[in-house]
Amino acid sequence: MTAIDFLVEKLKLESIDLSLYHQNLINKAKEMERDQLIMFGTQCMVEVEKDSGLGSIRIYELFFDKKFNKL
């Protein structure tokens, strides 16, 4: 569960009605969070193996999509 998912669940538990506008903001926040996680993982991998040539960004995109499959 991501931080965004946690927040949405808490809002639902408090019976806060999320409008379409709010859903769009949530989706944008999820995209931003996904991109940040991918870049963080990529930066870590680059620091460990600078010349690996493994296509770091794609590896992390696939992992994220498999793990969270939310977007």
**For the segment 24-67, what is each residue's pLDDT rounded down to a tens digit?**
888 999 999 888 888 888 877 766 665 555 566 666 676 677 76
What residue segments make up the domains of the chain, in order of their start?
Answer: 3-68
Question: What angle do the packed helices 3-13 and 20-48 form, to 10 degrees?
Answer: 150
The predicted pLDDT at position 59 comes to 67
Q: b or e along 20-42 (b: 16 or more beta carbons within 10 Å of the residue's beta carbon)?
A: eeeeeebeeebeebbeebbeebb
* pTM metric for this prediction: 0.58
